[in-house]
Chain A
């Protein structure tokens, strides 16, 4: 292999220096110019990730990866295409540029293609935490060992992951735009099993010091004990208290419905519903990448600065998010939510923040005569795209609430529930917090007490 444009020159496990990424981007832009491209845009994404996985109270998988990908988009004669590679020698990069030009020439002119953006200014976000970047395999193993020891002590079985990682990305183009971003990520997730009962807890943060694996292990352990001897209840409409992870995984499926392109394509549940009282008056939602509970770059796939957008105000959908092309078609301002071009999906809000309320989970339980406490939901899929009916299962801890108290564990249910209806039936909410689940990306959501939640069938455990 020939020289890799200086990237990795002094690296062992960490990220390349930002200066190196800029040099790499500039070298590809030069290759684009030499090859005859009218415009060239380059994305660079570098990942250094490690994940320690445990099950049956011991580590069984333990992985690390380091990768850097260059993705180049060229424009010539109103046509564009993208080619990505992780081969960084000059010949390979030149080949990528030439392939992008060749791909682009094979198609008709793109009618909505705009000139690339010029230089932009971005708000500073600090999401790279050295303490997270420094975490070693031995550090993760020791934390896992403590969690597994707790499981053994409580005669339970632990399974989960401890992740630490760092990533950086940058977008640059031949019009002078350069947008760099780097962040770290730590995540601990644990499932505790006691006989046939299970429970689960998970946390995710840029700063590993904001994560307390042992506290999560203790929480899952306590709930697994409570989850034993589950009783079977008939499927029906119930008042439910959804913990933040359960709310996140369900409402997360709404995100693309707020894309301007989704409405243009008439595949959004908000078709003909913008400006109407779709949700309860207690529901307000923004997309805000700058919120302290959020992660992510302050720019979109074209390098457009992301804006905070009010999506729902007092239950009324008010605004959509726009990429540059959809904004032009709608005669709106782009909001900085576009995906990298070319694509057919346009844009999406990726940093949802619910307004939340003031109730605690304990108060929600104390004010419930008959209901269910839901730890998390699983395998959620869309049944009806316009009414936004979602199906899925409860998982890892479903509990009966009677006369203000959690009384017993309950066998898991299948639900078929409209998210629109659910967000009209929210009776109480907690303070919104950064939550993490398995079905949707992380967002800031409250716990919710919801009436009339539709469970349709019950499973065997």
Chain B
């Protein structure tokens, strides 16, 4: 692979590139699903190719191909330079890149059990057992389970001399029970909605998640939701479970800190950000207990945003985003770092595949744990609502106003969970919300959640991001707006 990547760089340079990098990527994926006790999807995909990014006449070009021959990669590199020269016809200014060292390295995400080596029969057997457990519950009308495994090898080479090989193994699993009754569809998922939990781990993630054990509870709760009380509409105290808080972080912290959004580069599609450059070091993003980091290092955990190097050849880093409630940092790349006074990229360029240009992406954007025990959080809440497991999410294109609904909620009265509530939702303005946070649970309750489906860029790229979170409490939140006075 190094020969091909190196050849593409030679050709790019010969054609006039002042800088070039190339990524050969080999992606393997296995998807297994069941529905109502039968196998749904049983598929395996493999894709290999090269993407070449070239800087010529001060502008960028990118081309990709699956023709992994000497001629194929040469043509691809030449096209990348030709496109860069076309870009220069309508460039605004010359691209300036922050300096970066050259690295020659190999990095592999740790895992105990290679999911591609586990017999398929065992994997399907697990799903069918979990499916059967859910179908035992009367009133369940649809059961779904899924496993997803990925193995990604990338060979990054750049004209400054980097040669970096990385291998990532990613596993994901989840179950869903749905119940249709009267004029209502309710559902419960485990361990999270929209595909479950995903992490940079091996099959051990699936074993630890124990889908079969949780299947009966998930099914029972889906049915019980029909007879639960409607979540009231009010302004009040909200406690978010860890997975929902993970998505809240993703939408109301992770996206607004992307420097390409801030600089208007995503204005036509994903949108911009309320975090204009004047907000850095001046905005009180949250209360003093709110501390958020962007941490791609393995020390942070095996999240979907964990790696050795980003797709621009910059080593993984930890950046303070919110420290003691103050806004402290953006996600940057080599092209944008200098615009916020940084000498170096924060290492967040990531690509979905060989045929996509790396763009600024979340890594693991995590809320640091607080000090509370979960029991105490409930015991010291006189009147509140605990919401869990996302059902819908939406936020405006500058990341101010959001609304989330969850699958389930529990009413807390006098320090106790007293009853289940259905159709819960809450909404607010990002900074007002984070400035109402008055309690965060400790590391004992902290999980690094995986969001496997973050869409951004044109052409659209889907990326996995990590979000560490423990349950937390927020005051004076708008609750129940989505369903009104139903």
Q: Footprint of B on A, CB under 8 Å? A: 1, 4, 8, 12-13, 49-69, 71, 80-87, 96, 99-100, 102-104, 106-108, 110-112, 136-138, 140-142, 144-145, 148, 157, 159-161, 163, 189-191, 193, 198, 200, 265-267, 271, 342-344, 378-387, 389, 391-393, 395, 412, 414, 416, 438, 454, 456-461
A-B contact pairs, 29 of them (CB 8 A): A51-B458, A56-B92, A56-B264, A60-B265, A61-B60, A62-B61, A67-B64, A67-B355, A83-B46, A84-B44, A99-B44, A103-B42, A107-B39, A112-B38, A191-B268, A265-B141, A344-B33, A383-B392, A383-B483, A389-B483, A414-B394, A416-B481, A438-B269, A454-B484, A457-B401, A457-B478, A459-B401, A460-B400, A460-B401
Known contacts A159-B265, A198-B267, A393-B401; is-contact A460 B180 (Cβ 8 Å) = no
Instruction: Tell whether, in the assembled complex, residue B87 and residue A141 are in contact, meaning their CB atoms are under 8 Å apart.
Output: yes
Which listed residue, A82, A381, A438, touches B394 by the CB 8 Å rule? A381
Instruction: Tell whether, in the assembled complex, residue B268 and residue A200 are in contact, meaning their CB atoms are under 8 Å apart.
Output: yes
Contacts of A50 on B, CB cut-off 8 Å?
83
Write the nearest CB–CB distance from B61 to chain A, whole angstroms. Answer: 5
Instruction: Tell whether, in the assembled complex, residue B400 and residue A461 are in contact, meaning their CB atoms are under 8 Å apart.
Output: yes
Instruction: Tell whether, in the assembled complex, residue B38 and residue A379 are in contact, meaning their CB atoms are under 8 Å apart.
Output: no
User: Is residue B102 contacting chain A, with contact meaning CB distance below 8 A?
Assistant: no
Instruction: Tell whether, in the assembled complex, residue A142 and residue B89 are in contact, meaning their CB atoms are under 8 Å apart.
Output: yes
Q: Footprint of A on B, CB under 8 Å? A: 33-36, 38-49, 59-69, 72, 75-76, 79-80, 82-84, 86-87, 89-93, 119-121, 124, 141-142, 144, 178, 180, 183-185, 263-269, 271, 274, 355-357, 359, 391-398, 400-401, 403, 405, 423, 425, 427, 429, 458-459, 478, 481-484
Instruction: Tell whether, in the assembled complex, residue B265 and residue A55 are in contact, meaning their CB atoms are under 8 Å apart.
Output: yes
Contacts of A198 on B, CB cut-off 8 Å?
267
Determine the distance from Cα of A190 to Cα of B429 in the docked complex, in whole angstroms: 27
Contacts of B82 on A, CB cut-off 8 Å?
137
Known contacts A56-B264, A266-B141, A414-B427; is-contact A49 B459 (Cβ 8 Å) = yes
Which listed residue, A65, A85, A157, A383, touches B46 by the CB 8 Å rule? A85
Top 8 nearest A-B pairs (CB, nearest first) are: A58-B92, A344-B40, A106-B120, A137-B86, A459-B401, A159-B267, A266-B180, A145-B90
Contacts of B91 on A, CB cut-off 8 Å?
58-59
Which listed residue, A63, A136, A265, touches B357 by the CB 8 Å rule? A63
Contacts of A52 on B, CB cut-off 8 Å?
86-87
Determine the distance from Cα of A13 to Cα of B83 in the docked complex, in whole angstroms: 13
Write the nearest CB–CB distance from A83 to chain B, whole angstroms. Answer: 5
Determine the distance from Cα of A100 to Cα of B120 in the docked complex, in whole angstroms: 12
Instruction: Tell whether, in the assembled complex, residue B268 and residue A189 are in contact, meaning their CB atoms are under 8 Å apart.
Output: yes
Determine the distance from Cα of A215 to Cα of B35 in the docked complex, in whole angstroms: 48
Instruction: Tell whether, in the assembled complex, residue A83 and residue B45 are in contact, meaning their CB atoms are under 8 Å apart.
Output: yes
Instruction: Tell whether, in the assembled complex, residue A414 and residue B401 are in contact, meaning their CB atoms are under 8 Å apart.
Output: yes
Instruction: Tell whether, in the assembled complex, residue B394 and residue A392 are in contact, meaning their CB atoms are under 8 Å apart.
Output: yes
Determine the distance from Cα of A111 to Cα of B79 in the docked complex, in whole angstroms: 49
Contacts of B36 on A, CB cut-off 8 Å?
265
Instruction: Tell whether, in the assembled complex, residue B396 and residue A412 are in contact, meaning their CB atoms are under 8 Å apart.
Output: yes
Determine the distance from Cα of A82 to Cα of B90 in the docked complex, in whole angstroms: 44
Sample of 6 further A-B pairs with CB below 8 A, known A103-B42, A456-B481, A456-B482: A58-B91, A100-B44, A107-B124, A148-B90, A342-B39, A384-B185
Contacts of A140 on B, CB cut-off 8 Å?
86
Determine the distance from Cα of A204 to Cα of B119 in the docked complex, in whole angstroms: 46
Write the nearest CB–CB distance from A71 to chain B, whole angstroms. Answer: 8
Instruction: Tell whether, in the assembled complex, residue A193 and residue B401 are in contact, meaning their CB atoms are under 8 Å apart.
Output: no
**Nearest A-chain residue to B265, judged by Cβ:** A55
Contacts of A193 on B, CB cut-off 8 Å?
264, 267
Write the nearest CB–CB distance from A213 to chain B, whole angstroms. Answer: 12
SS of A interface (majority): strand
Determine the distance from Cα of A340 to Cα of B443 in the docked complex, in whole angstroms: 45
Write the nearest CB–CB distance from B334 to chain A, whole angstroms. Answer: 14
Instruction: Tell whether, in the assembled complex, residue B38 and residue A111 are in contact, meaning their CB atoms are under 8 Å apart.
Output: yes
Contacts of A141 on B, CB cut-off 8 Å?
86-87, 89-90
Instruction: Tell whether, in the assembled complex, residue B265 and residue A87 are in contact, meaning their CB atoms are under 8 Å apart.
Output: no
Known contacts A53-B458, A144-B90; is-contact A380 B394 (Cβ 8 Å) = yes
**Nearest A-chain residue to B93, judged by Cβ:** A58
Contacts of A51 on B, CB cut-off 8 Å?
458-459
**Nearest A-chain residue to B59, judged by Cβ:** A59
Determine the distance from Cα of A188 to Cα of B394 in the docked complex, in whole angstroms: 26
Contacts of B185 on A, CB cut-off 8 Å?
266-267, 384-386
**Nearest A-chain residue to B274, judged by Cβ:** A460
Determine the distance from Cα of A25 to Cα of B35 in the docked complex, in whole angstroms: 31
**Nearest A-chain residue to B86, judged by Cβ:** A137
Determine the distance from Cα of A343 to Cα of B146 in the docked complex, in whole angstroms: 12
Instruction: Tell whether, in the assembled complex, residue A344 and residue B41 are in contact, meaning their CB atoms are under 8 Å apart.
Output: yes
Instruction: Tell whether, in the assembled complex, residue B394 and residue A393 are in contact, meaning their CB atoms are under 8 Å apart.
Output: yes
Which listed residue, B43, B178, B393, B425, touches A81 by the CB 8 Å rule? B43
Instruction: Tell whether, in the assembled complex, residue B184 and residue A386 are in contact, meaning their CB atoms are under 8 Å apart.
Output: yes
**Nearest B-chain residue to A438, judged by Cβ:** B269
Most buried by A among B86, B268, B484: B268
Which listed residue, B62, B66, B89, touches A138 by the CB 8 Å rule? B89
Which listed residue, A71, A266, A343, A457, touches B403 by the CB 8 Å rule? A457
Instruction: Tell whether, in the assembled complex, residue A56 and residue B263 are in contact, meaning their CB atoms are under 8 Å apart.
Output: yes
Instruction: Tell whether, in the assembled complex, residue B482 and residue A416 are in contact, meaning their CB atoms are under 8 Å apart.
Output: yes
Most buried by B among A49, A84, A142: A84
Contacts of A160 on B, CB cut-off 8 Å?
268
Known contacts A12-B75, A457-B427; is-contact A63 B83 (Cβ 8 Å) = yes
Determine the distance from Cα of A384 to Cα of B424 in the docked complex, in whole angstroms: 11
Determine the distance from Cα of A457 to Cα of B396 in the docked complex, in whole angstroms: 11
Determine the distance from Cα of A265 to Cα of B403 in the docked complex, in whole angstroms: 28
Instruction: Tell whether, in the assembled complex, residue A64 and residue B79 are in contact, meaning their CB atoms are under 8 Å apart.
Output: yes
Which listed residue, A64, A82, A111, A458, touches B64 by the CB 8 Å rule? A64
Instruction: Tell whether, in the assembled complex, residue B43 and residue A55 are in contact, meaning their CB atoms are under 8 Å apart.
Output: no
Instruction: Tell whether, in the assembled complex, residue A110 and residue B39 are in contact, meaning their CB atoms are under 8 Å apart.
Output: yes
Instruction: Tell whether, in the assembled complex, residue B180 and residue A54 are in contact, meaning their CB atoms are under 8 Å apart.
Output: no
Contacts of B459 on A, CB cut-off 8 Å?
49, 51, 63, 163
**Nearest B-chain residue to A82, judged by Cβ:** B43
**Nearest A-chain residue to B398, judged by Cβ:** A461
Known contacts A84-B44, A459-B400; is-contact A57 B92 (Cβ 8 Å) = yes
Determine the distance from Cα of A77 to Cα of B87 in the docked complex, in whole angstroms: 55
Instruction: Tell whether, in the assembled complex, residue B66 and residue A66 are in contact, meaning their CB atoms are under 8 Å apart.
Output: yes
Write the nearest CB–CB distance from B40 to chain A, whole angstroms. Answer: 3
Determine the distance from Cα of A1 to Cα of B40 in the docked complex, in whole angstroms: 34
**Nearest B-chain residue to A161, judged by Cβ:** B458
Determine the distance from Cα of A61 to Cα of B456 in the docked complex, in whole angstroms: 14
Instruction: Tell whether, in the assembled complex, residue B40 and residue A343 are in contact, meaning their CB atoms are under 8 Å apart.
Output: yes
Which listed residue, B42, B47, B90, touches A58 by the CB 8 Å rule? B90
Contacts of B391 on A, CB cut-off 8 Å?
383
Instruction: Tell whether, in the assembled complex, residue B60 and residue A145 are in contact, meaning their CB atoms are under 8 Å apart.
Output: no
Instruction: Tell whether, in the assembled complex, residue A393 and residue B63 are in contact, meaning their CB atoms are under 8 Å apart.
Output: no
Write the nearest CB–CB distance from A82 to chain B, whole angstroms. Answer: 4
Write the nearest CB–CB distance from B371 to chain A, whole angstroms. Answer: 33
Instruction: Tell whether, in the assembled complex, residue B394 and residue A379 are in contact, meaning their CB atoms are under 8 Å apart.
Output: yes
**Nearest B-chain residue to A273, judged by Cβ:** B183
Contacts of B427 on A, CB cut-off 8 Å?
414, 456-457
Determine the distance from Cα of A110 to Cα of B87 in the docked complex, in whole angstroms: 52
Contacts of A64 on B, CB cut-off 8 Å?
62-64, 79-80, 83
Known contacts A51-B458, A63-B357, A378-B396; is-contact A161 B268 (Cβ 8 Å) = yes
